[in-house]
Amino acid sequence: MIDIKEKIAEILAGQLDSLLNDAEGSLSMDEIKSMIEIPQDKANGDYAFPCFKLARTLRKAPPLIAKDIAAGIEEEALFEKVEQVNAYVNMFVSKEELSGITLDAALDPDFGKSDEGEGKTVIVEYSSPNIAKPFHIGHIRTTIIGDSIYRLYDELGYKVVRLNHLGDYGTQFGKMIVAYKKWGNADELEKDPIKYLLYLYTKFHKEAENDPSLDDQAREAFVKLEAGEEEEVRLWKWFSDLSLKEFNRVYDMLGISFDEYDGESFYSDKMQRFIDELHDKGLMHESRGANVVDLEDYGLGTALITKSDGSTLYCTRDIATAVYRKEHYDFYKNIYVVATQQNLYFKQLKMILKLLGYEWEEDCIHVPFGMVSLENGQILSTRGGNVVFLEDVLNNAIDKTREIIREKNPDATEEHVNEIAKEVGIGAVKFQELSNNRIKDYTFTWDKVLNFDGETGPYVQYTHARCASVLRKAGDDVVAKAQNINALDMSYISGENAYELVKLIYAFPEVIRDAAYKYEPSIVTRHIIDIAQSYNRFYHDEHILVDNEDEKLAKVALTIAAKNVIKTGLGLLGIAAPDRM
């Protein structure tokens, strides 16, 4: 698609060449483009060019320079109007020109895709639940935000590796092993693995309050696990296999998959290299029997590398993980989608990598997000058994959607109802999670998650279905003709509502870039809400399937473009775009 800003820069460059006559201080194309502004007040045009920087070179007052430039470009077909206001050249883009440029690109279902990331690998680590613990509502943020970030970078042409860095190692498994040996029942575990493991984990912590020796037993069990003791390894693998089977059922509901499950255990034989390297470089020292890296000089406290019993920690494994990923994938970016609670930890990890001499540490990106709490102010806690299962949330959303569909469409087939209920119900949960800035803390409430009114996923999905309905009514022949840009008369989509929609569609590729490079899916969410609202205004205020063939073709073309963008936008959020609701 033609970049309007770049096109304006080319027009301005031609005019400036004649004014500057190769004078010292002339501007390059990139400089001109960077100077072009988008006025907040639309009365000042779609774009504006300030002339202050040219005053010294031309030895002329900025308003006079602006007047000369305006006079020189006002006949350009791109502009509907050009005017000089003080030191600014205000440019109003021709509605017909912008509509033509936009539809020419947006009639392609792949509108928004680019190859700017070609040849570069981006790793996105997300979800990463702990084995033998519940997949609860707190995991929804990393899972859905991470999946959307993957989709955004994939849309920009990067090779994206989706990693689920399972929490399948650590002292917690010593606790689970001890708890199972003391109180476990194989039949109960096989019947409902996650809930039973949660019961054991909660029981362990309650019992440990009265019997601290249980914590010592747990540490001993984990040391045996690290040493490869047969019984400990058997139980650990059993817990892991059962847990992953349960997790995958939820991932299937969410439509989320991964390229690799590289649990922490994968790096258990890769850590000693870095423990030795930290020691050899004098970065690690002993403190109360443990090994630590002192980062006080950097305002980052102390990082624990190994405990006094010799067992490893997250940091030990994550150093090995980062280096393995660089050596294995040669990543352009290594993105960790992990809660804000770990901000300090990731600063410590990156500083240790830097001190070890790994200059690519700056390409390790921590993408934080706000925390989840419950309505009563409680924090989600596996240890205390205070959790809301994510699967329950998804099933409730599907059930509520099914009820709504049956009320509104009593004649709908059971198969259709179930399919749409899943697409819309799960879409509602995802959209609600991705509709606010990721850094904000989040209070889980059933009413909010299951609210389908207002600026919601179901509203955007319904708008997509409305577009599809319009196209079905238009008929295949009209739709085919409307996709021929040369057959369209853009004057028919220059009304206020239509043109506002055109501008939002034109902005979509830049919205994708902005969301990707800011790691902020809510930018897409907000934009497709705007597009849906704009299309619905256009739909209500203007007749689309009119008798005038030229007008109908132009408006059907705009409907096709809106449908394409809404579908792509929902897809970037991991949400289905049904043609019927």
- Which candidate, 22, 435, 28, 306, places its Cα nearest to that of 12? 28
Element (H, E) at 92: strand 88-93
Residue 355 identity: L
Bridge partners, residue 122, by sequence: 160, 333
Element (H, E) at 262: none
Question: Helix 4-20 to helix 62-73 angle, to the nearest 10 degrees?
Answer: 110
Contact 569, 527 (CB under 8 A): yes
* 33, 67, 95, 139: the active-site residue: 139
Contact 80, 117 (CB under 8 A): no
Clarify whether 133 is annotated catalytic: yes
> Tokens 């001190």 identify what position?
355
Backbone angles phi, psi at 78, to 5 degrees: -65, -25
Clarify whether 136 is annotated catalytic: yes
Q: What burial class does residue 256 get, using C-beta atoms within 10 Å of its C-beta: 0-12 exposed, 13-18 middle, 19+ buried?
A: buried
Task: State how far the alpha carbon of 10 is from the alpha carbons of 13, 28, 88, in Å.
Answer: 5, 10, 17
DSSP states of 39-81: -SSGGG-SEEEE-GGGHHHHTS-HHHHHHHHHHHHTT-TTEEE
Distance (Å, rounded) from C-alpha 408 to C-alpha 321? 52
- Give Cα 277 to chain centroid, integer Å: 36
Distance (Å, rounded) from C-alpha 82 to C-alpha 295? 58
Distance (Å, rounded) from C-alpha 92 to C-alpha 522? 29
Backbone angles phi, psi at 236, to 5 degrees: -60, -45
Contact 79, 70 (CB under 8 A): no
CB neighbours of 507 closer than 8 A, spacing ≥ 6? 527
Clarify whether 543 is annotated catalytic: no
Which strands form 88-93's sheet, in the order they lie side by side? 47-50, 88-93, 79-85
* 33, 95, 136, 165: the active-site residue: 136
Distance (Å, rounded) from C-alpha 472 to C-alpha 469? 5
Q: What burial class does residue 22 get, using C-beta atoms within 10 Å of its C-beta: 0-12 exposed, 13-18 middle, 19+ buried?
A: exposed
277-297 burial by CB neighbour count: b if 16+ within 10 A, else e? Answer: ebeeeebbeeeeebbbbebee
Distance (Å, rounded) from C-alpha 139 to C-alpha 133? 11
386-395 burial by CB neighbour count: b if 16+ within 10 A, else e? Answer: ebbbbbebbe
Mapped onto helix, strand or coil, the DSSP state of residue 548 is: coil
* 133, 307, 366, 552: the active-site residue: 133
Contact 287, 306 (CB under 8 A): no
Contact 518, 438 (CB under 8 A): no
* Active centre residues (catalytic): 133, 136, 139
